[in-house]
Every structure is written in C-alpha cells, then in structure tokens.
Amino acid sequence: MKKILIADDHSLVRYGLKVALLNHFADVEIDESWDGQSVMARLKDSTYDLVLLDLSMPDSDPGTTLHWIRNFCPDTRVLIVSMNNETIFGKRALQMGAHGYIEKDASPDDLIRAVNVVLSGKKYMSADLADIIVRDALIRKAVNPFDELTPREFQVAMYIIQDYTITQISKLMQLQYTSVNTFRRRIFEKLNIPDRKALVQLADAYKLN
C-alpha cells in the first residue's frame, strides 16, 4: 500500500487531488495537511511514499519545508502541485530538492502520470519545463536575470516582492535577520537594481508577479 500526503491550504484542492488519486490507485492511504507545521507533524508520525506539496501555504516557506523533508525523510518523494508558472518556479523547485513539478490546472491524467513517474524514482516535469532546463544547460547562460539568483536568494526575492519585512522573512525561512539582509543585498547587486520598487518592476516584466 502506498501512503500519500496531500499538503495544500485549500480544502477543495485537497479534496480534488484526493478524488483523482482514489479513482486511479486501488491500494492507497491518503492523509492531508494545510501548512508547513502540519506537514512536519504528519511526517514525524508516519512514513509516506509521496508528498503532494503546494508552494504557497500560509506561514510556510517551501524551501524550508523541502529542506526538512529531504533531510529527515530522505525516502519520501515530493511532487510540487502549484498554481505558479512552472517555467519560472518549476526549475527552482527542482533545484530545492523536489522530485517533480506540476501546475494545478493540469488534467487528472497528467497528475496521475506525474505521481507514477515520481513514485518510480524518476523526476517529473512537463515538456516545456524540460526544454527550458536543457536549453539553459546547453547554453550555460541565464535567459532570465532571476536565474542568476541562488534558490535561497530567489526565495527571499519573492518575499520582498510580496512586501514581507526582513523580520517576517527571517521567521518564515528560519534564518538570522542578518542573513536575510545579506541575501537582500546580494539580490539587488546581482539584478543591478537599487530597491524593492525596482525589484517589483523587474519581476512584473518577467511575469513573476
């Protein structure tokens, strides 16, 4: 029997994912969680083959959650199920340790295909995302200036864009205040921008907002 944890803060989304999985898998046990803390609590109590993880849950940082799962539950596979554009966020999720990425508007058939691929020990990504990763690897050159950022810097940049304070980001990412300040400085330097306003404008230009 496979054990799967669905982590999403919207009960309707959890219900839809659960129905899709139960319609396909005859022998599966499914649990639910709704934020980073409940994900960790579930994983401390039980062993799961797969976690379907939303990137945008309240009071949760996806990088911290992924890092925790990778270190404390190394045999658990993680498939990101997100509303965020995969061409921007998919590559970042894979870099942070996810085993696959699928958008929430994908079909149930695509979801089941992704689950089967990840459970088989492989990584799942759409053809578009695979093309981007291969292209970037071949030319070894960032097409998007945000690709110059490390995964942690990218996370901090996303929080700054959403107008989180340094203190709030420190708490979410479980980092020192000074570390987040350093990340912010590096982000502005790498993107050659002076402040948050310019960061928001750049993110808008590359459709990150």
The whole-angstrom separation of Cα 114 and Cα 108 is 10
Answer yes or no: do 92 and 151 share one domain. no
Q: Return the bridge partners of 53, or none.
A: 7, 80
Answer yes or no: do 126 and 173 share one domain. no
- Range of the structural domain that residue 24 is part of: 2-136
Answer yes or no: do 41 and 73 share one domain. yes
CA distances, 127 to each of 1, 15, 71, 103, 200 (Å): 30, 27, 29, 13, 29
Question: Under a CB-based contact definition with an 8 Å cutoff, are residues 43 and 76 in contact?
Answer: yes
Beta strands in the chain (DSSP E): 2-7, 28-33, 50-53, 77-82, 100-103
- Amino acid symbol at 66: L
Report pLDDT for 71: 84
CATH code where residue 24 lies: 3.40.50.2300
CATH code where residue 155 lies: 1.10.10.10
Question: Under a CB-based contact definition with an 8 Å cutoff, are residues 100 and 126 in contact?
Answer: no
The encoded tokens of residue 34 equal 């709704």
The whole-angstrom separation of Cα 146 and Cα 66 is 21
2 φ/ψ angles, rounded to the nearest 5 degrees: -90, 140
The one-digit pLDDT tens for each residue of the chain (209 residues) are 899 999 999 999 999 999 999 999 888 999 999 988 899 999 999 999 999 999 888 777 777 888 888 888 999 999 999 988 777 788 888 888 899 999 998 899 999 999 999 999 999 988 778 877 777 666 655 567 888 888 889 989 999 998 999 999 998 888 999 999 999 999 999 998 989 988 998 888 777 76
**Whether the predicted model's global pTM rises above the 0.75 cut:** no
To the nearest 10 degrees (0 to 180), the angle between helices 196-205 and 177-191 is 60
Report pLDDT for 144: 77
Domain total in the chain: 2
